[in-house]
């Protein structure tokens, strides 16, 4: 019986080894899709307007469509008693996918910085504010969002050494497209000065598969004005 048990165990180990070998070969044979390549580019929003439930941003070479709901939440903040607390705001996270799997997908985050004076727990709950303690003398403690805000966006923060602020984030995901009536829309929604935006663009790693063109296009009617960052985003 002992001899047979040893033979059975030997066959079991051989079978397991064979099975693991097949699994390893199968895993090697599976071709996983290559990861997109990320590049960074600069754009500037020259105009913006609302139409129906969407917010449209007019850039230099392409335009962007986002749901308006998050920015209406900003409007509630800007129209509240905290309007005077707003120090600055900036698009701190913009991503554009021009890949086969995600053609023309665009997402953006607006970050609004407020002075910490007279902000109550009720305000924090109502407007989803987060405390931001800044100590620019300690580079390790300096948060990444502070770098993004001060990098060409909010020069008035250059004098800050150690101070407490509050910050609100307004994020949305939509798409990039080309407005066929962009010049007409721009005439009705042009900003007093262009709004700079750093865009992280993700493209397919293989040149033949890259989608660098804006395939979606639309003609959109400029409707009600929309206020953002103390600048009128809207049309007539």
The percentage of the chain sitting over the pLDDT mark of 90, rounded to a whole number, equals: 16
Q: Are residues 57 and 85 in the same domain?
A: yes
DSSP letters, the chain, are: -HHHHHHHHHHHHHHHHHHHHHHHHHHHH--PPPPPEEEEEEEEEEEEEEETTEEEEE-SS-EEEEESHHHHHHHHHHTSTTGGGEEEEEEEEEEEEESSSSEEEEEEEEEEEEE-TT--HHHHHHHT-EEEEEETT-TTTS-HHHHHHHTTT-GGGGG-SEEEEEEEEEEEEEEEEEETTHHHHHHHHEEEEEEEEEEEEEE-SSGGG---S---EE-----S-EEETTEEE---
Write out pLDDT tens, residues 111-167: 889 988 889 999 999 999 999 888 877 766 667 787 777 776 676 777 788 888 999
**Tally of structural domains, the chain:** 2
Q: Are residues 125 and 218 in the same domain?
A: yes
Write out pLDDT tens, residues 41-95: 889 888 888 888 889 899 987 899 999 898 888 889 988 999 889 888 888 889 9
Q: Are residues 97 and 146 in the same domain?
A: yes
Q: Are residues 183 and 121 in the same domain?
A: yes
Containing structural domain, residue 219: 37-233
Q: Are residues 126 and 156 in the same domain?
A: yes
């Amino acid at each position: 019986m002992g001899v047979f048990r040893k033979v059975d165990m030997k066959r079991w180990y051989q079978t397991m080894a064979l099975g693991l070998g097949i699994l390893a070969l199968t895993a090697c044979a599976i071709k996983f899709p290559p990861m997109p390549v990320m590049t960074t580019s600069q754009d500037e929003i020259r105009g913006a307007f609302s139409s129906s439930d969407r917010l449209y941003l007019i850039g230099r070479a392409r335009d962007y469509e986002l749901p308006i709901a998050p920015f209406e939440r900003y409007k509630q903040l800007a129209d509240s008693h905290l309007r005077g607390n707003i120090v600055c705001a900036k698009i701190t996270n913009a991503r554009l996918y021009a890949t086969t799997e995600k053609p023309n997908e665009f997402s953006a985050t607006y970050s609004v910085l407020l002075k910490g004076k007279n902000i109550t727990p009720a305000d924090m709950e109502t407007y989803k504010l987060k405390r931001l303690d800044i100590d620019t003398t300690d580079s390790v403690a300096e948060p990444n969002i502070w770098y993004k805000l001060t990098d060409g966006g909010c020069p008035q923060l250059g004098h800050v050494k150690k101070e407490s602020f509050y910050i609100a984030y307004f994020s949305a995901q939509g798409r990039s497209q080309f407005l066929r009536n962009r010049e007409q829309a721009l005439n009705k929604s042009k900003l007093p000065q262009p709004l700079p935006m750093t865009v992280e663009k993700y493209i397919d790693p293989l040149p033949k598969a890259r989608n660098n063109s804006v395939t979606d296009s639309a003609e959109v009617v400029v409707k009600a004005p929309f206020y953002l960052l103390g600048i009128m985003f809207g049309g007539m």
